[in-house]
Structure 1
Amino acid sequence: MKRNVLLVDDDDVFNMLNSKILEKTGFHGNIYSVSNGLEAIHFLENLISAKQPLPDLILLDINMPIMDGFQFVDEIKAHPSIDHLLMKIIILSSSIDYRDRERAIKLGINGYVEKPLTIPLAKSLFQDNK
């Protein structure tokens, strides 16, 4: 089954590495990347305008300029055109602060994992349906 993934991280190296790791799992689909939450919102809006499917999975960093990961989640939940329930959102962060994990749980994030993404973790992301 073809799937779509959106990587949201201000570190281009992490986006490239995460793309490579997804490819090594045998992932079939499109991998998109943007540098912050605001770019991610614009990307999702453009998909909707073009009548393209939303990503099945968003791997979301927390600490980014312009709009961080938590702000992004707040924005898409309030966005009139974006159905956030159609996407699995996983925080992929270097933060080990328990408050970030608690906040993610309160926001209804589907998961919270520490960087770096690994092949076993990447494989597991698609085992469960949303």
Structure 2
Amino acid sequence: MTSERKLLSVLLVEDNPANVFLQKRIISKLGCAEEITVARTGLEAYELVKEWKDEPERLPDLIFLDINLPAMNGWEFMDRYNALDIPEEQRPVVLILTYSEYNKDRKRANRMPGVKGFYNKPLTVPLLESMLGEYFPDRFS
């Protein structure tokens, strides 16, 4: 995969240390992001995005969001995230990345404003390459 331009940042919303390690490793292996930030709860992620929204250059390009999180789950995060006043062209691409095999979760993600895709863990190099090509075609070919 050749990249015309890296993503400035990726926000991993993930509470499992092993998943954080794997996701950071895959992203780093592809060299597709300048910065990786980790939020271990939905509430922590929401507070970060709320803080960054007034400085759009700090918003991540991509958010990988787990559903089952402490303090605020992924659905609650999305409800609050969608209420933030962030112009559409500045909104990060939000992708659900979960172990959930429940069809109801996939359907809910498809109906949830702001969620661009629903994927099952683990993140792999081919899966990330596919995501980058689909959601950032101007930067990755």
Q: Identify whether the pair has TM-score above 0.5, normalized to the shorter chain.
A: yes
Pair 1:64-2:63 in alignment: no
Report sequence identity in percent.
36
Partner of 1:97: 102
- Residue by residue over 1:35-77, the C-alpha shift from the partner in whole angstroms, topping out at 9 and shown as x without a partner, is 1111011111232355533111110000011100011111111
Name the CA distance, whole Å, in 1 between partners of 2:87 and 2:55: 15
* 3-state DSSP of counterpart to 1:125: helix
Q: Distance in 1 between matches of 2:31 and 2:125?
A: 10
Unaligned runs of 5+ in 2: 137-141
Q: CA separation in 2, counterparts of 1:84 and 1:51?
A: 11
CA distance in 2, matches of 1:63, 1:111: 16
Among residues 121, 124, 129, which one is paired with 2:127 in the alignment?
Answer: 121
Task: Indicate the SS of the match to 2:12.
Answer: strand
Q: Which amino acid letter does the alignment assign opposite residue 59 of structure 2?
A: L
Q: Distance in 1 between matches of 2:87 and 2:37?
A: 18
Counterparts of 1:101 and 1:64 in 2: how far apart (Å)?
17
Q: Distance in 2 between matches of 1:8 and 1:84?
A: 21
Structure 1 regions of 5+ residues with no counterpart? none
Q: Is the 8 A contact 1:21 1:118 kept in 2?
A: yes
Q: CA RMSD in A?
A: 1.8
User: Runs in 1 of length 4+ with deviation above 4 angstroms?
Assistant: none
Segment drifting more, 32-41 vs 46-55: 46-55
2 CA distance for matches of 1:129 and 1:60?
15
Question: Equivalents in 2 of 1:84, 1:68: separation in Å?
Answer: 23
Q: Summarize the alignment of residues 1-130 of structure 1 with structure 2, pairs less than 5 Å apart.
A: 1-3=5-7, 4-49=9-54, 52-80=57-85, 82-83=86-87, 86-108=91-113, 109-129=115-135
Counterpart Cα distance in 2 of 1:118 and 1:129 = 16
Contact (CA 8 Å) 2:50, 2:84: kept in 1 or not?
Answer: no
